[in-house]
Chains A and B, each alone.
Chain A
Amino acid sequence: MKNTANKMIVFAATVVFLLTLGFSWTHTDRDIIPFMNQVFPEAQSFQKIASSPVIYEGKTKDQNGREEKIGYVVIEQAVAYGGPIKMVTAIDLQGKIIGTVIAAHKDTPSFIDKVIEQKYLEKFIGKDITDPLSINKDIDRISGATFSSRGIAKAVSQGSHAVARGEFGLDVKDEVQPFKFGAKEIAVIALIILAVIGVAFKQRKLRWIALIGSLVFIGFQYNTSISLANIAALLMGNFPPIRENLVWYILLIGIPVITLILGKNVYCFWLCPFGALQEITAKVGGGKFKCCNKGIEAKAAKMRYILIYLALIGAFLTKTPSFAGYEPFATLFGRQGFGIQWLILPVVIFTSFFISRFWCRFFCPGLILNEIILRPRRYIMGILGKGILEKGKLKKVPRIKGTEGTEQLKESK
């Protein structure tokens, strides 16, 4: 009876998950007119003249009551850090940008706050529609919100170039971003190679080198640790441009592929910067506190499923991947937390002095995501193993018990 009820709960939860995921893929526009009025207050009416991207003519009435074109408004979007940013840009008849505004965004709110606080949008006013609007050339980026400022510049540039081509008859090409491959990409790839060698050849000594390296580079230097927000973005189809975000693809696609091939958790115990920090704190504080009741500990570990589920459903319903990122990674490594996140971080770090890998064991989605990758692998290996077993060539493949991660944690050590 209880088993049937559990199955029904899982089924209902899966249906809700898939429905909300489907909803996140649907396309809806917020009413764009107020933004057009805000960015082009001189225009008394707007007439749509193109749809890809959407371009409106801004019109006013002359003394005789006849409508007169006074400029254009273009609506274009580009992917920022957490999701797309939709920009509404007004252009006068001389081909100058006279205003731009964010109509909608799915980016991390703290990044957008930074962009607005620093009056970034005003930097576009007076620029020519043929300008490439390259970051750090034509427009300065906002420190601490690089991806957001780049996304905004790209949306404004693509939109104004479309107006230049379509309405001014100019031959303007969108700037093709060069493939970004620098210190960040090299550092991440080097750490992954180190981890793969360590895991594949069981070189445990390399683990601390990889962990310290990840704490420095993936953590504090580049703040690029894998978060549930990235997984939500992946599920929702918000892929950032690969030319500028190679590390995103290496971590989000490369790590699961490596995990699948090796059959081991390469990320959590070798490459996670927050895991590294917690191991260091546990070394300092002893990390010996143990909840004596294993039942309570096991139940507490299962709480993660509910948190992850709610965070993902929230991200799908709000169509905002960054909503799912409840981890304190960005608060620590990027100083980008807001509200109560600034309290979660010290509580978690303080506790991890006494409870080894406190965050990983009871709150982090990492081990669960790893289990989702490894479970089908074990199933396939089990079937293959059975086949070989029948021929008497191989011992049965042992199944790793438990999905909560505590067992994997012990296993890795």
Chain B
Amino acid sequence: MKSKLRMADLVFIILISAVAIMIVISEWQAYHAIS
């Protein structure tokens, strides 16, 4: 049970981080498109 919970945590953290990184990259791309 405990290991299942840890896996859920990990999946969640990876997912959230991936989207956040993608948003930062999209901002970077927007900056280059503007300048």
Contact = CB atoms under 8 A, between A and B. Distances in A.
Tell me, yes or no, whether A binds B.
Answer: yes
Interface of A: 109-110, 289-293, 296-297, 300, 303, 307, 310-311, 314, 318, 320, 322-323, 326, 338-341, 343-344, 347-348, 351, 362-363
Contacts of B12: 289, 291, 296-297, 300
B23 A307 contact: yes
Interface in B1-35: 5, 8-9, 12-13, 15-16, 18-20, 22-27, 29-31, 33-35
B26 A323 contact: no
Nearest to B1: A292
A339 B13 CA distance: 24
A292 B27 contact: no
Contact of B29 (A307, A320, A339, A351): A339
A330 to B, nearest CB: 12
Contacts, number: 75
A300 B34 CA distance: 29
A242 B25 CA distance: 34
Given A109-B34, A292-B9, A310 B27 contact: yes
A303 B23 CA distance: 12
B14 to A, nearest CB: 11
B18 A347 contact: yes
A339 B34 contact: no
Contacts of A347: 15, 18-19, 22
Nearest to B4: A292
A303 B22 CA distance: 14
A323 B34 contact: yes
User: Which of the listed residues B9, B12, B13, B24 has the most CB atoms from chain A within 10 Å of its own CB?
Assistant: B12
Contact of A340 (B8, B9, B29): B29
Given A296-B12, A362-B16, A326 B31 contact: no
Contacts of B27: 310-311, 314, 323, 326
A348 B34 CA distance: 25
Contact of A338 (B8, B19, B20, B29): B29
Given A291-B12, A292-B5, A300-B16, A320 B26 contact: no
Contacts of A296: 9, 12-13
Contacts of B15: 347, 351
8 tightest Cβ-Cβ pairs between the two chains A and B: A109-B33, A339-B29, A291-B12, A292-B5, A300-B16, A344-B22, A340-B25, A340-B26
Contacts of A110: 33
10 contacts: A291-B8, A307-B23, A307-B24, A314-B27, A314-B30, A320-B34, A323-B31, A347-B18, A363-B19, A363-B23
A70 B14 CA distance: 64
Given A293-B5, A341-B26, 8 more contacts: A110-B33, A291-B9, A292-B8, A293-B9, A307-B23, A338-B29, A343-B22, A348-B19
Nearest to A301: B16
B16 A340 contact: no
Contacts of B13: 296, 300
A25 B33 CA distance: 21
Contacts of A338: 29-30, 33
Contacts of A343: 22
A314 B24 CA distance: 11
Contacts of A344: 19, 22-23, 26
A167 to B, nearest CB: 34
A320 B35 CA distance: 10
A102 to B, nearest CB: 13
Nearest to A341: B26
Contacts of A341: 26, 29
